[in-house]
Amino acid sequence: MDKLLIRGGNRLSGTIPISGAKNAALTLIPCALLTDEPLTLRNLPRLADIDGFQHLMTQFGVSHTIQGQRPEDFGRVVTLEATRLTSTVAPYDLVRKMRASILVLGPMLARMGEATVSLPGGCAIGNRPIDLHLKVLEAFGAQIELAQGYVKAMAPDGGLPGGDFDFPVVSVGATENALMAAVLANGTSRLINAAREPEIVDLCNLLVAMGAEIEGIGQSELTIHGVKRLHGATYRVMPDRIEAGSYACAAAITGGEVLLEGAKAEDMGSTLHALRNIGVESEEVKGGIRVAANGRLRAHNLTTAPYPGLATDMQAQLMSLLCKAEGTSVLTETIFENRFMHVPELSRMGADIETTGRTAIVRGTETLNGAEVMATDLRASMSLIIAALAAKGETTVRRIYHLDRGYERLEEKLQLVGADIERVGDE
């Protein structure tokens, strides 16, 4: 199993290309199930989760053609064709490692009238039930059964009639599944208290490009007028705002300055606001966002929240940054109940962090030290990388397969801006 060796102390400087967004791509890929025409996605990141999802699509009879195979390329162009679906079952072996697999439920139900999907897996960052996915599909007219670890959904003869659903809490995944189910429904559907994340907007924009009729894009109330069929399209995946924010933290903790090439400030408002309060400069420039840190970082209190609040996917990375800030910071995690698993590993590097329930108190220190640490989930992995870049000595990060799920060729990008980092195999 591979590990990363990082020798800290180098100031990061230069340009980091930002890849297509993992969280958007995993929502756009199942849109291919909604049409018998080709769907071409540009700027698709090379990630383990993307490969896993494409493998799942193959299970349904979806073919894919890949361009951009050169080793030096970031991202790919992939054409998916679901001319004839041969299965409506997403089996446990393909679903268990990736929670996003549940996103085939809505489009498969909409097009084929039925879908059987194993209950999903993914990062162990807390309880992430799919009850809202099922309730909104029931509101659209589906019959749902749970048996032996599988969800079986059936539409009435003639297809889903559509309907209204008011989310009791904001759910990104359930909003995405609902959108993909509603676009082919027989009537008009309305989603109230829908998620507003940029990835939701990206999904809506692709569906509209395929012929869907959606009102209220970017707002908390969406109205979807069902259409008879969707057609193919060519679409570019949005830049990854979490990847961009992660590299901004990496540059800042080293007192560096980088251009996040391709990043969009309009998608990163809460992250950039937090960075500015911590003492990190950011400026939208032609081609991306420039971030720079000079002098000691400042403590700052942060609370995660649904968009446009601070993304839970940025909490761990910002915590690492605050480990080097002057003063005491309080971080409150409101989305997931078990997302401080990186704290013991940061403590091994000399961080002073105390956790109580969903709150972490971070007392900044001038020095972090290299150590052997173990990644526990995707974003926790990145928090360890960030801390290691500023630590004295060498840090070994193990179980980096988590990183390969969400960061395209991470060590190569960090090497571009001066980091002393290498991937090696275990002896």
Cβ(6)–Cβ(421) under 8 Å?
A: yes
> Helix, strand, or coil here: 88?
coil
For residue 125, say whether it is annotated as part of any ligand binding site.
no
CA–CA dist 247, 389 (Å, integer): 11
Q: How many CB atoms lie within 10 A of CB 203?
A: 26
E strands, 21-168, in order? 39-44, 63-67, 76-81, 89-90, 114-118, 143-147, 150-154, 164-166
For residue 296, say whether it is annotated as part of any ligand binding site.
no
For residue 132, say whether it is annotated as part of any ligand binding site.
yes
Of 31, 123, 204, 323, which residue is the catalytic one? Answer: 123
For residue 410, say whether it is annotated as part of any ligand binding site.
no
Tell me the torsion sign for CA atoms 384, 387, 389, 391: negative
Q: How many CA atoms lie within 13 A of 412 on its CB side?
A: 11
For residue 217, say whether it is annotated as part of any ligand binding site.
no
- Chain centroid to CA 266: 17
For residue 94, say whether it is annotated as part of any ligand binding site.
no
Cβ(340)–Cβ(382) under 8 Å?
A: no
Instruction: Specify whether 123 is catalytic.
Output: yes
CA distances from 287 to 20, 68, 265, 293 (A): 15, 21, 11, 20
CA–CA dist 142, 156 (Å, integer): 7
For residue 298, say whether it is annotated as part of any ligand binding site.
no
For residue 22, say whether it is annotated as part of any ligand binding site.
yes
Tokens of 170: 């904001």
Binding residues for phosphoenolpyruvate: 22-23
Binding residues: 22-23, 99, 128-132, 313, 335
Binding residues for UDP-N-acetyl-alpha-D-glucosamine: 99, 128-132, 313, 335
> So which residues are the catalytic ones?
123
